[in-house]
């Protein structure tokens, strides 16, 4: 198995929305907002090469939305999905599978491209894309709270092209064996049936945290995003994951942390779970 971090750039989101009920006087110690109260976040994906398959987890925001849409989120940075894959030695036609943790625009936007004729088609011509039926149905008929996050042009073309397949959705405390060295966990607090890949690599366990734990700044229990549809479920799911992470020495991989790719966790003197070793995924895998 080979793991490659795929950076697709940065964007900005409101700090208050990212931390929910936690006051700015506290969260601003962890993430520095700009003059508009926006904080910078990464859109970090992961490429897993295992037993002849090249599996990409999430695709970033893409580039096909309008300038007006992008003005709300200020995407920036030198990295892009295509360039980062190329740097990892992988062409678009070589990706065999794309696992979409959920269908919010910053996770699935790069899955579909707009051609010169204006048509929408899968970016990866030979890939199977994966979601689950519970989440797809949720995204296709969104509630008012998430309506702006689910853009049909990001995922309906995958269904229409016949390249979108479904896995079973399980409760948050169960895991689905999926591919060699990869299981899928689930979370229902952020959105319906979000999937978290759990990767076994050289005796270590890496959890791709998606939006259950967007960054190290969200490890503290009250630090729950205002975007979450079921914040009490998020608390339960965070506690479950973090407890196992301490007990089983997981490496947590962060999709949105600006500078920290991954960390381990421990209990401090007060019994609270906090970040321990932090840095690049490669560094933690070698530790």
The domain ranges of the chain are 2-286
pLDDT by residue, tens only, the chain of 287 residues: 999 999 999 999 999 999 999 999 999 999 999 999 999 999 999 999 999 999 999 999 999 999 999 999 999 999 999 999 999 999 999 999 999 999 999 999 999 999 999 999 999 999 999 999 999 999 999 999 999 999 999 999 999 999 999 999 999 999 999 999 999 999 999 999 999 999 999 999 999 999 999 999 999 999 999 999 999 999 999 999 999 999 999 999 999 999 999 999 999 999 999 999 999 999 999 98
Q: What is the pLDDT of residue 287?
A: 86
pLDDT of res. 48: 98
Please choose, from the candidates 115, 117, 122, 116, the residue with its C-alpha nearest in 3D space to the C-alpha of residue 100.
122
Q: What pLDDT does 28 receive? A: 98
CATH of domain 2-286: 3.60.15.10
Residues in the chain: 287
């Amino acid at each position: 198995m080979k793991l490659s971090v795929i950076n697709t750039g940065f964007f900005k989101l409101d700090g208050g929305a990212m931390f929910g009920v936690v006051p700015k006087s506290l969260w601003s110690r962890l993430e520095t907002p700009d003059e508009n109260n926006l904080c910078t976040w990464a859109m970090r994906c992961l490429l897993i090469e295992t037993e002849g398959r090249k599996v990409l987890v999430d695709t970033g925001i893409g580039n096909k939305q309008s300038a007006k849409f992008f003005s709300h989120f200020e995407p920036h940075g030198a990295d892009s999905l295509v360039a980062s894959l190329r740097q990892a030695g992988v062409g678009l036609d070589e990706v065999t599978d794309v696992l979409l943790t959920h269908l919010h625009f910053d996770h699935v936007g790069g899955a579909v491209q707009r051609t010169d004729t204006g048509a929408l088609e899968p970016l990866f011509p030979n890939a199977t894309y994966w979601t689950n039926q519970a989440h797809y149905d949720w995204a296709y008929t969104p509630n008012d709270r998430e309506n702006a996050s689910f853009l049909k042009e990001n995922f309906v073309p995958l269904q229409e092209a016949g390249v979108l397949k479904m896995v079973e959705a399980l409760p948050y405390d169960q895991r689905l064996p999926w591919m060699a060295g990869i299981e899928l966990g689930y979370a229902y607090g952020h959105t319906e049936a979000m999937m978290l890949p759990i990767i076994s690599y050289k005796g270590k366990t890496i959890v791709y945290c998606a939006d259950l734990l967007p960054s190290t700044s969200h490890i503290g229990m009250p630090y729950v995003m205002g975007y979450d549809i079921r914040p009490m479920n998020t608390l339960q799911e965070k506690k479950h994951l973090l407890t196992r992470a301490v007990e089983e020495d997981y490496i947590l991989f962060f999709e949105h942390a600006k500078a920290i790719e991954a960390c381990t966790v421990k209990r401090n003197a007060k019994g609270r779970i906090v970040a321990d070793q932090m840095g690049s995924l490669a560094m933690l895998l070698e530790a």
